[in-house]
Structure 1
Amino acid sequence: MTMRELDRFKVIQDVADGKLKPWRAAERLELTTRQVRRLVARLREHGPAGLVSGHRSKPGNRRLDPGAADRALSIIRDRYADFGPTLACEKLWECHGIRLAKETVRKLMTEAGLWIPRRQRPPKVYQPRARRACLGELIQIDGSDHRWFEERAAACTLLVYVDDATSRLMMLHFTQTESTFSYFEATRAYIERHGKPGAFYSDKASVFRNVKPGKTGNRVTPFGRAMYELNIDTFCANSSSAKGRVERAHLTLQDRLVKEMRLRGINTVADANVYAPSFMAAYNARFAKPPKSDFNAHRTLRADESLDLVLTWREPRKVTKSLTVQYDRVMYLLDDTSENRKLIDRQIEVWEYPDGRIELRADDRVLRCRQYDRLAEIDQGAVVEHKRLSHVLQVAQALQAQRDNSRIGKAPSRTHRGDTTRTNRNEAELRKSNEYGASIVERYPSRFGLLAALPTDDPDAALAEIERAATMLQADGFAMTCCYNGVYLSDTRLEPVWAELNRRKAVVFVHPNAYGPGMFGRASALLEVAFETTRTVVDMLYAGIFRRYPDVRLILAHCGAALPALSERLVLIGTQPWVRNPSMLTESEMRNQLARLYVDTAMTGSVHTIAPAVAMTGIDHIVYGSDCGVPCTCFDTMESNMRTLRLSSGLDSRQLSQLGRNALKLFPMASGRICRAPSK
């Protein structure tokens, strides 16, 4: 008997002995009561053997006819002996009218010795490759994404250059991401220090290899093109073991380098890059091997080789009849000259430098042009949101520009420096919006407060706006959207921003914005808004942001969206061993961090939304809020929200009045303005 049949026997035996009711046994075995009675009768008549399946040791009803199997196998032996099972299966049907499943054909061919399963094949032998003879003949390069500063800072990437002949570390360069421009920067430093190597040996990352050719049919990447111009060969490894020296170096560095930087208190990318040369010297003294040949294969730069010109991102563009060129959603106007008129309908090159400069080039000359930024000139209709927190606080703020105002995704990434090249349209709009909100507060100090919006896609601009809003505009708090130009609040680039907000013990209002309509034109306010906030907060939780910056007080829009309803599920499932938990959060820690959040009552007010929020954060962390993000007037929305709260929230009058007091505790400056206001 199988284990399943043995378990069934014990249950049926209990029914036969009167220890268990038939209906209870039916529930346990997921059978009907009638079937249980049949099994009891069979047990009494035939004993335990009566419960064994009657199909055992009998041929199956779906068995393959032996004659058909023999005929198919005979055809395969004669005509398709060297075919694989899938192709042989197709040919049996196409040419002989024999329809068999490919797994059936695989089984027949395996039993006949015509096919060897992959698991039974002898493993391939990969013999070790001898080292190159000379220093600089072959340099293995790779990036390692790791928490190099442990919990002291966000994860980043280390670009590692290892000499194949000696295992020497030739270059260590810390950067935010593994991108073309980060490799340009590291390679420039390498060449300036050592000279040009014979070849670079890398993996098949998109920096080094195009899987699909572009519109011109060219598979060469910008990095490959630059190395070709410098007469440096590039090779891509088929496997990680093929470039094992740099892979093994990663393991050593993730152990030794991390601890060395901890002992020296190094917490930033800039400080790590300063320390890297001294670490490489100590590492090479301990682990480097002598080369077979004393010849140094590095070559010096020729006089006609300029790294400034070679290490650029280049893309072809066509000149229109109006002498314009478009690149990254910016239009460039060429001067109307006879030379430029000859370029109409011709391809020219757009050169983008690591510092963000753009040049148009044709026939080895730089074309004079003017920049016309459509994103800066055309009003795309920025959406303005106003939030009212209690009868005291109303925020005048503009939501950040929509995602389709961002640059195209094919533009090169410069996140290794953290200074994305763009126009200042978004930052200017936010500053203007914050100044407008400050002017309203100045006119009506006892009625309004300011939550200053932050451009979170640019950490430097966000830090500058925090300082300006806090000192010059006297902002009560700050407003951040879940996603701004593709940068979510859990992004590691925002670590300096969160650190500054934590230092100021700031109040931050979080509102969703990176969403679109659903099927059938379904409004995003129905579902997408709620789950955008929920996903963002959960990502921040797992990223450890709440743990590292406990003094930042977050207010979530729309009563926390779907988070309160899913919080218990998140706590119970989100800490299981099979769930990726990079911050190693425990159940109690996750509950405590969720309980520290604040939520407003905008677009919500029924007991079905308020009760889960109270259970997650407590009544002390709920503040009044009304939303004007739908086509309605501010007054109508506020009145409707208050009516819903009074009638359907399940809160008594004392708890409803507490919502306003909760907001005043969060915003002491606004509370002070109310106290100083003359009574009417």
Structure 2
Amino acid sequence: MTENNRIDVHTHLVPSFWGEALPAHGGDPSGWTTPPWSPDAHLSFMDANGIATSVLSLTAPSVVGWKGSERREMARRVNEYTAGLVSDRPDRFGNFATVPLPDVDGAVAEIDYALGELGADGVVLLSNYEGVYLGDDSYAPVWEALNRHRAVVFIHPGHPLLPVLPGVPGPVVDYPFDTTRNAVHMAYNNVPLRYPDTKIILSHAGGFVPYAAMRFSLVRSLLNVAAGGPTPEEVLEQLRGFYFDTALSAGQATMAALTDFADPSRILFGSDFPYAPAALGTRITEVLDADSGLTAEQSAAINRTNSLPLFPRLG
């Protein structure tokens, strides 16, 4: 295990008030069990895995199941609770703020509050909200607000509008699929080009993006491209311009594809704790350290230094 210096950009909090209310607000459609969590348990996992700081986020299904003003209220409650954790331990915790999408007006207001008043380190979005992906024009006001704040945007997969495979909960394969689906949708709709001051992180090594990026870019030439639509070269440029975290992503084949495709300064450490329980998170991290074909310089960059330009206060 490395010295205690990692910055974990993909790790979650589970506030008790949110977890207890979730079943009455649609539950988790992915079929995954909401894990137990506490700040102390999180710190113990961090200490055991050489993690200096965890940038906390609320995972899917976020606050989508709440309706009307209750959705905005729950997002605000989560953000203020997380900000309190950061205030108590600014060296150990960061905050990706939750927004009440698909309520676009509410999301813009919460972005301004969380980044302007609470000092959040960034914003977490889901890959889709009720089947609408982030490249959709209806989300332009959200991206404009994020771009205005020069925000770090962590995109976590949401469950796609597909039935869960029997015996295969959504996080196993549907989440990487939805990350990929959304990334291509965003690139085809020029989101990174239109909002260049945002820094966008894709979960789980980008799903299948590094492996299939050439397919996604070259096939674009066969489609009817609307005026202003990206060329195949621009699609590839946008896909390579994302940041990628290593949550549940290790091993030589995975990291060979990722390090060959991605800008090497845009690969960031992620654990997925506590949805990846401590034993699994620790094992994935051990493989990342010792059996992923990374050089010492690559490991040091992934673990910490690649994150510092995104989160300068942690330097």
What is the TM-score with the length of structure 1 in the denominator? Answer: 0.38
Provide the rounded CA distance (Å) in 2 between the counterparts of 1:380 and 1:528. 18
Matched position secondary structure for 2:100:
coil
Shift in Å, 1:405: 3.2
Change (3 A) 1:378 1:570: closer
Matched position secondary structure for 1:405:
coil
Shift in Å, 1:615: 2.2
* Selected match of 1:666 from 305, 310, 315: 310
1:32-55 deviation line (CA, Å, top 9, x unaligned): xxxxxxxxxxxxxxxxxxxxxxxx
Shift in Å, 1:539: 0.8
**2:140 maps to what in 1?**
495
Change (3 A) 1:461 1:390: farther
Root-mean-square deviation (CA, aligned residues, Å) is 2.8
1:58-100 deviation line (CA, Å, top 9, x unaligned): xxxxxxxxxxxxxxxxxxxxxxxxxxxxxxxxxxxxxxxxxxx
Shift in Å, 1:542: 1.1
Provide the rounded CA distance (Å) in 2 between the counterparts of 1:376 and 1:532. 22
Q: Percent identity?
A: 32
Assess if the C-alpha contact under 8 Å between 1:533 and 1:561 holds in 2.
Answer: yes
Q: For 1:624, give the aligned amino acid.
A: F
Provide the rounded CA distance (Å) in 2 between the counterparts of 1:542 and 1:644. 34
More relative contact order in 1 or in 2 (CA 8 Å, sep 6+)? 2
Q: For 1:639, give the aligned amino acid.
A: T
**2:286 maps to what in 1?**
643
Matched position secondary structure for 1:666:
coil
Whether 1:556 and 2:202 are equivalent positions in the alignment is: yes
Matched position secondary structure for 2:93:
coil
**1:244 maps to what in 2?**
none
* Selected match of 2:178 from 486, 509, 532: 532
**1:151 maps to what in 2?**
none
Q: For 1:579, give the aligned amino acid.
A: L
Provide the rounded CA distance (Å) in 2 between the counterparts of 1:405 and 1:379. 5
Matched position secondary structure for 1:665:
coil
Assess if the C-alpha contact under 8 Å between 2:188 and 2:235 holds in 1.
Answer: no
Shift in Å, 1:380: 5.4
Once the two structures are superposed, the pairs formed by residues 434-583 of structure 1 within 5 Å of their partners are 434-515=79-160, 518-574=164-220, 576=221, 578-582=222-226, 583=228
Assess if the C-alpha contact under 8 Å between 2:64 and 2:71 holds in 1.
Answer: no
Q: Which runs of 5+ in 1 are unaligned?
A: 1-374, 407-421, 672-680
Change (3 A) 1:404 1:549: closer
Shift in Å, 1:474: 0.6
Change (3 A) 1:428 1:377: farther
1:360-398 deviation line (CA, Å, top 9, x unaligned): xxxxxxxxxxxxxxx999465575899989833313332
Assess if the C-alpha contact under 8 Å between 1:454 and 1:480 holds in 2.
Answer: yes
Provide the rounded CA distance (Å) in 1 between the counterparts of 2:305 and 2:22. 42
Matched position secondary structure for 1:521:
coil
* Selected match of 2:296 from 640, 648, 653: 653
**1:24 maps to what in 2?**
none
1:621-666 deviation line (CA, Å, top 9, x unaligned): 1010011364623xx3442222010122110122101111101121
Q: For 1:616, give the aligned amino acid.
A: F
Q: For 1:655, give the aligned amino acid.
A: Q
Assess if the C-alpha contact under 8 Å between 1:517 and 1:523 holds in 2.
Answer: no
Assess if the C-alpha contact under 8 Å between 1:557 and 1:601 holds in 2.
Answer: yes
Shift in Å, 1:489: 1.1
Matched position secondary structure for 2:55:
strand
Provide the rounded CA distance (Å) in 1 between the counterparts of 2:106 and 2:211. 35
Once the two structures are superposed, the pairs formed by residues 52-451 of structure 1 within 5 Å of their partners are 378=24, 391-399=51-59, 401=61, 405=65, 422-451=67-96
Provide the rounded CA distance (Å) in 2 between the counterparts of 1:561 and 1:402. 20
Shift in Å, 1:527: 1.7
Change (3 A) 1:511 1:377: closer
1:132-152 deviation line (CA, Å, top 9, x unaligned): xxxxxxxxxxxxxxxxxxxxx
Change (3 A) 1:589 1:655: same
Q: For 1:540, give the aligned amino acid.
A: M
Q: For 2:240, give the aligned amino acid.
A: A
Shift in Å, 1:508: 0.2
What is the TM-score with the length of structure 2 in the denominator? Answer: 0.79
Shift in Å, 1:455: 1.9
Assess if the C-alpha contact under 8 Å between 2:96 and 2:124 holds in 1.
Answer: yes
Provide the rounded CA distance (Å) in 2 between the counterparts of 1:501 and 1:637. 33
Change (3 A) 1:484 1:557: same
Change (3 A) 1:455 1:581: farther
Matched position secondary structure for 2:309:
helix
Provide the rounded CA distance (Å) in 1 between the counterparts of 2:306 and 2:230. 28
1:188-243 deviation line (CA, Å, top 9, x unaligned): xxxxxxxxxxxxxxxxxxxxxxxxxxxxxxxxxxxxxxxxxxxxxxxxxxxxxxxx
